[in-house]
Amino acid sequence: MREREEFYRAFVEDGLGLICTHRLDGAIRTVNPAALTLLGYAEEDIVGRNLRELLEPSIWEKFETYLQDLKREGRAAGHLHVRTKRGEKLVWAFRNKVITEPNGSSYVLAHAQDVTDRQFAL
C-alpha cells in the first residue's frame, strides 16, 4: 500500500501533467508543481481560490455548465481557456472526475494537458 502511495505521489508531484483537486463549487484544494509552474503562481496564491478566477471571462458561463455536469454525471471533459499570472492565454484539454470519499464528502480530481500550441497552430 505504501509503495502505491509513493508511486502516485511521485506521479502527481513530478509529472508533466497538470493535476489539481477542487470542490464541487470550483474552489481549488490542491495543485501540482507542473500546473503552478505553467501558471506562474505559488501554491499559496492558488489554493482556496475558485478555478473560475483563472479562466477567461468569455467561458465563465461554460464553467457553470461544467460544474453542473460534474454534479449530474460525475465527470466532465473538454477545453478551458486559462490566464497565467502574467496574463498569457493558455488552452487546456481536461478530463475530470468526481471522487467520493468514504465519509461521503466529494471533490473533483482534475487532470489537464496544455494544448495551446496545437490550438493556435490550427
The string of pLDDT tens digits covering residues 86-111 is 999 999 999 999 999 999 999 999 99
Please say if the pLDDT value at position 84 is more than 70: yes
Task: Lowest mean pLDDT of 8-22, 77-91, 99-113, name the range.
Answer: 8-22
Query: End-to-end distance of the chain based on CA atoms, in angstroms?
Result: 45
Please say if the pLDDT value at position 16 is more than 90: no
Between CA 109 and CA 98 the distance in angstroms is 6
What's the average model confidence in pLDDT over 61-85?
A: 94
Q: Tell me, what's the pLDDT at 117? A: 83
Q: What is the mean pLDDT of the chain?
A: 88
What radius of gyration, in Å, describes the C-alpha atoms of the chain? Answer: 14
Q: In the Cβ-directed half-sphere of 14, how many Cα atoms lie within 13 Å?
A: 6
Q: What is the pLDDT of residues 31-46, one digit of tens each?
A: 999 999 999 999 999 9
Residue keyed to cell 489539481 = 20
Using alpha carbons, select from 47, 38, 42, 29 the residue that is nearest to residue 89.
38
Please say if the pLDDT value at position 71 is more than 50: yes
Q: In the chain, what percentage of residues exceed pLDDT 70?
A: 84
Predicted TM-score (pTM) of the model is 0.84
Q: Residue 105 carries which side chain, given as an amino acid letter?
A: S
What's the average model confidence in pLDDT over 19-37?
A: 94
